[in-house]
A = this chain, B = another copy of it.
Amino acid sequence: MEHRIDQIKKQLHAHSYKLTPQREATVRVLLEREADHLSAEDIYLLVKEKAPEIGLATVYRTLELLSELKIIDKINFGDGVSRYDLRKEGAEHFHHHLVCIECGSVEEIMDDLLGEVEKVVESEWGFQVQDHRLTFHGLCKACQKAAVETTS
């Protein structure tokens, strides 16, 4: 944890930004809730517990800054809110998501499933891939089970 904070601090400094207390509190929330997909409002409320004087605008500005530096990714699952997802250390590409259309749960897939597909896109379409977004919509394990039980 402290290691990642340090690393992010360096990334900020490299672009002549500072790791202010507000920014650090925001990053800490992101690290603590790494598995979640929090909205700006969610993050704001959690950061407030650590730094009650913080304003929502500062959270937005911090998130924008972290996005620019590719420390986090901004995602949109189709409800009206942007969500923010920490990149894994040294991850070159954004990871994938499984969104359950029944219960709304979001699972992450860290494996890069698109190596082959990207090669095809580059060779067949001449498009130089830099990043990707891949989300599957369907039924998670639990909801498949629930569906079967209801039917039988």
Residues of A at the B interface (CB closer than 8 Å) are 74, 76, 78, 98, 101, 107, 109, 113-114, 116-118, 120-121, 125-141, 144
Contacts and interface: CB of A to CB of B under 8 A. Distances in A.
A109 B125 contact: yes
Nearest to A74: B78
Identical chains in the assembly: 2
A140 B127 contact: yes
Given A78-B74, A133-B134, A137-B133, A128 B144 contact: yes
Given A76-B78, A109-B125, A125-B109, A132 B135 contact: yes
A130 B125 contact: no
Contacts of A113: 117, 120-121
